[in-house]
Amino acid sequence: MEGRPLEKDIEIEPANEQKLIARSRDGDTNAFGTLVAMHQEIALRVAHVVVRDHAEAEDVAQDAFIKAFAALDRFRAGSPFRPWLLRIVRNEALNRIRRRRRQERLALRVASEAVVASGDAASSPEAAAVLADEIRPVFRALDAISVRHRSVLIHRFVLGLSEEETATVLAIPRGTVKSRTARALAALRTELEGETDG
């Protein structure tokens, strides 16, 4: 399970998802359970990016789903559910760590310490190790850039969210996602060049 690419647990048509949302809004908790199953994996990852702890990420995701259920009246019918949900997850995670804000700022490493050689990503343990060696400097550089730049790169590329989804989750305009991504990539490249020169 660990280290594998993100995949949906349940594939569902958008129209059916909206029906599940409508039923959930009417109080059907089983319908909401299906929505949880659909989105739990990406929700856990969004939480983990912030709290960097498996058990805490699970607690965050669970609480966020419960809050989302309570907030369904404020969900605009027909709009994308996933970014709306993930914003609640991220808010919940950020609120959890606000008392250790300083540590989070310094230690939001996400992947640099967690990159592991995984059989899912390569054909052999050796190939995985080589791949990890190539990737590791990029994630190390990711640690060195600003929180704002890091957040947008993680959500766009590591979590694989669209620009629009990233905008919703980070609560910034879509145009800002675009411009900040460009600046973040430049900052990351500069960091990588410094690492190579050093």
Partner 1 sequence: MADQRDFEHIEQSLRTGASLVDWPPTARQLAPRVVATLDQPVARRRPSPRWALAAAIVLVLSAVMLLSPRARQAVADLFEIAGVRFGITSEEPTSGSVLDLGEAVDLADLGDLAGFVPRRPSALGDPDEAFFDDSGIVWMVWKGADSLPAADDSGVSWLLGQFVDDGRIVGLKTLGPGVEAIDVSVGGRLGFWITGNPHAFTYIDSGNELKEDSTRLAANVLLWSEAGINYRLETTDDDFTRALEIAESLDP
Residue 19 or 129 with smaller CB distance to partner 1:
129
Closest approach of partner 1 to the CB of residue 9, in Å: 7
Closest approach of partner 1 to the CB of residue 14, in Å: 20
Residue 19 or 120 with smaller CB distance to partner 1:
120
HSE-up (13 A, CA, CB side) for residue 46? 33
Closest approach of partner 1 to the CB of residue 13, in Å: 19
Closest approach of partner 1 to the CB of residue 122, in Å: 9
Residue 19 or 193 with smaller CB distance to partner 1:
193
The structure tokens listed for 102 are 């300083």
Q: Among candidates 188, 122, 190, which has minimal Cα distance to 154?
A: 188
Residue 77 or 182 with smaller CB distance to partner 1:
182
Residue 33 or 80 with smaller CB distance to partner 1:
33
Closest approach of partner 1 to the CB of residue 65, in Å: 5
